[in-house]
Structure 1
Amino acid sequence: MRPQGAIFVVLPHLGLILVWLVTSHQMSGWCEGPRKLAWCPPYKVMLLVWTTIFSVMGYASYLVWKDLGGGFGWPLALPLGLYAMQLAISWTVLVLFFEAHSPGLALLHLLLLYGLVVSTALIWHPINKLAALLLLPYLAWLTVTAAITYRLWRDSLCPEHQPQPTAGGELLRP
């Protein structure tokens, strides 16, 4: 890997670090309390998965950049433009979820992000098949994230779907 590869791997983390600096005080209890989902991973697992996925995505973008000859000419505009859009939207989703506490808006952005990732994979496939395949774990993680976000959004709209505490302090799920 050329030295530029390290830049491509680190680039997605810059936004993630900024989001973490803005929202770190909100993250530790993000899926706890009465709204806790049994299948919701702890925030440290979420951070580890996001970090890994962003590294893999950065490497995949490097492969596309390299296979299209490097530089920043017109052949790279669509493949890397879609990638840049998905990075910006993924950072926005995290801010909407953790800082703005808006699971509905986060869910809409996740659906848009899902479409962008699929589009990016389809555009990348003829350029570099491995790069396109490296986006599949991201799609899987977006599915999990969208399911959690949907559940939290639904529970915020429909209190009857939220777990109810019993006299012993345990939570009963409807």
Structure 2
Amino acid sequence: MKINNTFKLIISLITIVGLGSLGGIFTIAEIPTWYAGLNKPSFNPPNWIFGPMWTTLYILMGVSFYLIWKLPESSIRTQAIRLFVIQFILNFCWSIIFFSMHQIGWAFIEIIVMWIFILLTIMQFRKLSMTAAVLLVPYLLWVSFASLLNGSIWRLN
């Protein structure tokens, strides 16, 4: 069955925003309790910023993924999709490791691996669509900041 592009865009957005938001289940209960009790660096943003930021990033990721998915099948496209899925799984797992398991150090290691896979995804997407690659740059920048924040929280605690 061939899926038309409009449906691919809808599936991409719903899946990425939906699954990305699902990570909030592991986060939300821990913010006023465990997370509130952690020592944080002076550059720690207010908690309210994370929801809108991640929603925006997931929308950009969804559009980026769609731009790759709609292209004709090829080995380069398949590799790009694989890299995207790997980094997305790592994204999802980070919330569990950091917030549910309270493993700040392991979360730091995991977010560094995630950052590498985001960069690899951008590089692979660039071979297929410059727009798709550029749409992931804010995500890479935010994860760069989140890595610094995670590492700083680990050091302070």
Global fold match (TM > 0.5): yes
- 1:46 aligned partner: 50
Q: 1:34 to 1:131 in 2, by over 3 A?
A: closer
* Structure 1 unaligned blocks of 5 or more: 157-174
- Computing the radius of gyration from Cα coordinates, the structure with the larger value is 1
Paired amino acid for 1:65: W
Paired amino acid for 2:95: L
CA RMSD between the two structures: 1.9
* Structure 2 unaligned blocks of 5 or more: none
Alignment of 1:3-152 (within 5 A): 3-28=7-32, 32-33=36-37, 35-66=39-70, 68-69=71-72, 74=75, 76-152=77-153
Name segments (4+ residues, structure 1) moved above 4 Å.
none
Q: 1:102 to 1:135 in 2, by over 3 A?
A: same
Q: Deviations over 1:54-103 (max 9, x none)?
A: 1101100101111x227xx7553211111011110001111111111111
Q: 1:96 to 1:90 in 2, by over 3 A?
A: same
Q: 1:13 to 1:40 in 2, by over 3 A?
A: same
- 1:165 aligned partner: none
TM-score by length of 1: 0.79
For residues 53 and 28 of structure 1, the distance between their equivalents in structure 2, rounded to whole angstroms, comes to: 24
**Contact preservation (8 Å) 1:31, 1:37:** no
Q: 1:142 to 1:34 in 2, by over 3 A?
A: closer
**Contact preservation (8 Å) 2:38, 2:153:** no
Paired amino acid for 2:143: L
TM-score by length of 2: 0.87
Q: 1:139 to 1:103 in 2, by over 3 A?
A: same
- Tell me by how many angstroms 1:7 deviates: 1.1
- Tell me by how many angstroms 1:47 deviates: 1.6
Structure showing greater relative contact order (alpha-carbon pairs closer than 8 Å, 6 or more residues apart): 2
Q: 1:139 to 1:116 in 2, by over 3 A?
A: same
Paired amino acid for 2:7: P
For residues 142 and 30 of structure 1, the distance between their equivalents in structure 2, rounded to whole angstroms, comes to: 22
**Contact preservation (8 Å) 1:30, 1:43:** no
Describe the SS at the equivalent of 2:101. coil
**Contact preservation (8 Å) 1:31, 1:42:** no
Paired amino acid for 1:69: P
Paired amino acid for 1:14: G
**Contact preservation (8 Å) 1:31, 1:40:** no
